[in-house]
Amino acid sequence: MPIPPLRPLDVFPVGDAKRPMFAMRDPMGIVSELLAVQPEAFFIASHFDGEADADGVARLVSLRMGGKVDAMVVHSVAQQFSDRGLLLDEKFQEMYAKAREAFAAQPTRAAAHAGGNYPDDASQLTQFLKQVLSLADEQPRFDGDLIGLISPHIDFERGHALYAQAYKPLERAGQFDRIVVLGTSHGPMASSLVPTRKNFETPLGPLATSQSGVDAVLSVLGEECLMDELAHKGEHSIEFQTVFLKMLQPNAEIVPLLCGSLRGCVDDGADPQGNEEVERAVEAVRAARSRDGRTLLVAGADLAHVGPRFGGPELTDGVLDATERGDREALAFASERDASGWFRSITNGGDPRNTCGLSPVYLMLRALERGRGHLLGYQRCEAPDQCVTIGAMAFVEGGSPPPLRSGRILIATE
């Protein structure tokens, strides 16, 4: 009997040279704890493709490891992974069904990362956010109307300077009626775009979700996209935007939209424009805008993920410089609302920079239809085994363009 396939997981090395381990995190949040396994066990599990049985996996692993691995060992690893909910089997389906039922029963979407990535006390969070915003460089004055923002979704510890750059314009932008928030889904989704009707809890109070905005999205996509609503439960890409939005736009309603992968278009080397599913997603984002009031579009989107942590080469100066050049080329296309250029510049060679903000920015650029983007900042978050890059951009309609900015900010994480 074939061993069920390994679920999509975030995997990264931990431990040290004497006792190396691999940590596994469930991006769907169904398995809440971080799990660590020995490299040999992970190597075996990486061969669980849903087609090979224990004997077939044992033969293949033995060949690749250069030593005999018994089928009983493979069986044992498969059982351990199954027990922990890491395989796409009946055990996981039961866990998934219970998690969906529990989330559906919750009246609001809880602040999953409060008390970890940011303070869970209202006064402390307010002070924290004000301190973050005070870090913003002096920004050019926009004499047009703010219509869109690209903000990071990286943790605040590393990304606070760019969050400051992204959200500083909202301090003087006036009140918005509706804010459409596009976030990367770090877990698998069958749908290209998934809303939720739930209000978002924050330590500053709930941020209301526009029911008419969600209705408009569902009128395009159909109710079936809500089958993936559980993806909102632990996803941080929208949550990290909500704390700033609640403080700066407390009376606005949001339309929270998680964006699925454009992997099919990436693998095919095809422009998403004209793809039926993508076009429906673009139409849905446009429909989410307020018909009568002011609407702001926000994309919670990081840029590149390079280095050994993400399966890439060592971080030489050449790798880092090439990454930044590629990012800046993509951001230049974004500033002109050139969604096809944004997509091409990132996916040339199959998305070599692992840009997890590809989808939300693409959909925002297609939905905006007018205005121009102004780069507010760019940052390389460097550590010995990884580099995550982030950018901040404001889209403005009308008015004269402000002076060009290089937007270079360089902060090391370790």
**Three-state secondary structure string covering the chain:** CCCCCECCCEEEEEECCCCEEEEEECCCCCCCCCEEECHHHHHHHCCCCCCCCHHHHHHHHHHHHCCCCCHHHHHHHHHHHHHCCCECCHHHHHHHHHHHHHHHHCCEECCCCECCCECCCHHHHHHHHHHHHCCCCCCCCCCCEEEEEEECCCCHHHHHHHHHHHHHHHHHCCCCCEEEEEEECCCCCCCCEEECCCEECCCCCCECECHHHHHHHHHHHCHHHHHHHHHHCCCHHHHHHHHHHHHHCCCCEEEEEEECCCHHHHHHCCCCCCCHHHHHHHHHHHHCCCCCCCEEEEEECCCCEECHHHCCCCCCHHHHHHHHHHHHHHHHHHHCCCHHHHHHHHHCCCCCCCCCCHHHHHHHHHHHCCCEEEEEEEEEEEECCEEEEEEEEEEEECCCCCCCCCCEEEEECC
Tell me the C-alpha distance between 306 and 352, whole Å.
8
47 shares a domain with 128:
no
pLDDT surpassing 50 at residue 413: no
* Backbone angles phi and psi of 323, in degrees to 5: -60, -45
Predicted confidence at residue 412, as pLDDT, reads: 43
Whether 346 is covered by a domain: the verdict is yes
Whether 28 and 133 map to the same domain: the answer is no
Is the residue at 241 inside a domain?
Answer: yes
Q: CA 178 to CA 361: how far, in whole Å?
A: 18
pLDDT at 402 over 80: no
* 159 within some domain: yes
User: Can you give the CATH number for the domain in which 124 is found?
Assistant: 3.40.830.10
Is the same domain home to 271 and 155? Answer: yes
Residues 236 and 278: beta-carbon distance below 8 Å: no
65 versus 216: which is more confidently predicted? 216
| pLDDT tens column, 337-380 | 999 999 999 999 889 999 999 999 999 999 998 999 999 999 99
d(CA 73, CA 13): 22
User: Are both 155 and 172 inside the same structural domain?
Assistant: yes
Are 389 and 150 in contact by the 8 Å Cβ rule? The answer is no
Q: Domain containing 59 — which CATH number?
A: 1.10.10
Q: Judge if 131 and 189 occupy the same domain.
A: yes
Residue 4 lies in a domain: no
Question: Once rounded to an integer, what is the mean pLDDT over residues 42-69?
Answer: 93
Q: Are residues 84 and 121 in the same domain?
A: no
Same domain, 80 and 144: no
Confidence of residue 400 (pLDDT cuts 50, 70, 90): low
Instruction: Assess if residue 82 is contained within a domain.
Output: yes
Sequence-ordered list of residues with C-beta below 8 angstroms from that of 101, at least 6 positions apart, any chain: none
Q: Is the predicted pLDDT of residue 405 greater than 60, yes or no?
A: no
Based on the domain organization, do 311 and 163 belong to the same domain? yes
Domain check: are 182 and 33 in the same one? no
Check pLDDT > 90 for residue 140. no
- State the pLDDT at residue 90: 95
Q: Using one digit for the tens of pLDDT, what is the confidence trace for 287-344?
A: 999 888 999 999 999 999 999 888 899 999 999 999 999 999 999 999 999 999 999 9
In angstroms, what is the C-alpha Rg of the chain?
22
Give the mean pLDDT of 151-177.
Answer: 95
| pLDDT class of 19 with cuts at 50, 70, 90 | confident
131 and 16, same domain (yes or no): no
Instruction: Give domain status of residue 2, yes or no.
Output: no
Residues 172 and 315 in one domain: yes
Does 3 map to a domain? no
Same domain, 280 and 266: yes
Mean of pLDDT over the chain: 92
Which residue, 69, 102, 135, sits at the end of a domain?
Answer: 102
- Token pair, residue 395, equals 């889209």
**Into how many domains does the chain fold?**
2
- Within-domain flag for 5: no
Which residue range is the domain that position 154 belongs to? 108-412
Strand 145-151 versus strand 386-397 pairing type: antiparallel
- Looking at 102, 118, 139, the residue that finishes a domain is 102
Final residue of a structural domain among 77, 102, 127: 102
Distance CA(325)–CA(349), nearest Å, equals: 15
Task: Provide CB contacts within 8 A for 366, sequence distance 6+.
Answer: 273, 282, 285, 339
